[in-house]
Amino acid sequence: MEVILAKHAGFCFGVKRATHLAFDAADKGGDTYTLGPIIHSPQVVQRLEEMGVKSVEDVAEIKNGSTVIIRSHGVAAEELEAAVRANLEIVDATCPFVKKAQEHVATLSKEGYDVVVVGDAVHPEVQGIVSYATGRVYVVSSGKDVERLPRMAKMGVVAQTTQSFEHLNEVVAACLARGGETRVYNTICDATAVRQEETKKLAGEVDCMIVIGGFNSANTKRLAQICRELLPRTHHIETAGQIDPAWFEGVQRVGVTAGASTPKWLIDEVTERISAIDKDKIG
């Protein structure tokens, strides 16, 4: 059985950076916390917990003088301010691409633009981005949503980093159609699109797909959905232990991909387990 691993399976740049910063902070010892899970990987969160890093929901739960790690998709401006007021040592692991989106929103507000954020209103990244606006700010998920917004003379548009370019385009077109001045910052990061394209191609070339990543990871769930549409023999797992050897009955080629928050060690364990199952079959 041939095992084909997608080239960009696993950590994106921002998650890799955040994870390194978190493990470095954990290595230093002392009371260390994250505000919410550092990334959407229960296994990484558990490893950090074993090293003494606690995940809390609110700055108020953190002891004075501790270290707090800010997760890759950022936190709200007020939470960061609360951490500063509480004299916490801040390790800011916000992905630089997310940071850019936050900065653009702050600048747009300062320069008198009403801000339109293209994204999912309940996603923590979007809630963080929105919090940097000091004036009017709206979250939209389609061009239709733009039509329902109040009159605006100056509109500034930014996007959640994981949005598709087509989606941003649709919203911008709707903003332009309303008239007035429109300033657009393309804050999309292509890591998501690259993984999705690659996964789609791979799913079309194999008999079975294994998608690795947190069951709470939106980008991993999306990868599994893309695969399933092309190949019903798709399995979303978090760890190698969840693999059922029966999945590979009659399979010649198996494709493996992983979400942007899946660490390399989990991917390695999965590919090793598949190879071991194959050897058992032959032996």
Q: Active-site residues: which are they? A: 125
Q: Please calculate the CA angle 95-96-99 and round it to the nearest 5 degrees.
A: 90
**Spatial distance between the Cα atoms of 141 and 135, rounded to a whole number of angstroms:** 20
Kind plus residue range of the DSSP H or E element containing 34: strand 32-35
Residue with smaller CB distance to ligand F3S, 13 or 247: 13
Whether 197 and 221 have beta carbons less than 8 Å apart is answered as no
Judged by CB under 6 A, which of 192, 199, 220, 262 binds ligand F3S?
192
Residue 100's contacts (CB-CB under 8 Å, 6 or more residues apart) are 185, 187
* 217 marked as part of a ligand binding site: yes
- Report if residue 185 touches ligand F3S, rule: CB under 6 A: no
Whether 17 and 93 have beta carbons less than 8 Å apart is answered as yes
- Report if residue 226 touches ligand F3S, rule: CB under 6 A: no
Residue with smaller CB distance to ligand F3S, 14 or 214: 14
Residue 3's contacts (CB-CB under 8 Å, 6 or more residues apart) are 254, 256, 271, 274, 275, 278
* 189 marked as part of a ligand binding site: yes
- Report if residue 70 touches ligand F3S, rule: CB under 6 A: no
Cβ of residue 197: shortest distance to ligand F3S, in angstroms? 14
Q: Which of residues 235-274 bind ligand F3S (CB under 6 A)?
A: 260
Residue 214's contacts (CB-CB under 8 Å, 6 or more residues apart) are 40, 41, 42, 43, 220, 238, 259, 261, 262
Query: DSSP state, 140?
Result: E
Judged by CB under 6 A, which of 25, 45, 83, 98 binds ligand F3S?
98
Query: DSSP state, 189?
Result: -
Residue 54: CB atoms within 10 A of its CB come to: 13
- Report if residue 13 touches ligand F3S, rule: CB under 6 A: yes
Residue with smaller CB distance to ligand F3S, 152 or 260: 260
Q: Which of residues 99-158 bind ligand F3S (CB under 6 A)?
A: none
**Spatial distance between the Cα atoms of 46 and 61, rounded to a whole number of angstroms:** 19
* 8 marked as part of a ligand binding site: no
* 220 marked as part of a ligand binding site: no
* 40 marked as part of a ligand binding site: yes
**Spatial distance between the Cα atoms of 269 and 283, rounded to a whole number of angstroms:** 21
Q: Which of residues 155-184 bind ligand F3S (CB under 6 A)?
A: 161
Kind plus residue range of the DSSP H or E element containing 47: helix 42-50
**Which of the stretches 10-18, 20-28, 131-139, 262-270 binds ligand F3S when contact is defined by CB under 6 A?**
10-18
Structure token digits, residue 239: 């760890």
> What residue type is assigned to position 1 of the chain?
M
Residue with smaller CB distance to ligand F3S, 44 or 191: 191
Judged by CB under 6 A, which of 72, 163, 257, 271 binds ligand F3S?
72
- Report if residue 212 touches ligand F3S, rule: CB under 6 A: no
Residue with smaller CB distance to ligand F3S, 19 or 32: 19
Provide the annotated binding site for isopentenyl diphosphate: 40, 73, 123, 217, 219, 261
Binding site for ligand F3S (CB under 6 A): 12-15, 72, 95, 97-98, 161, 189, 191-192, 260
Provide the annotated binding site: 12, 40, 73, 95, 123, 161, 189, 217, 219, 261
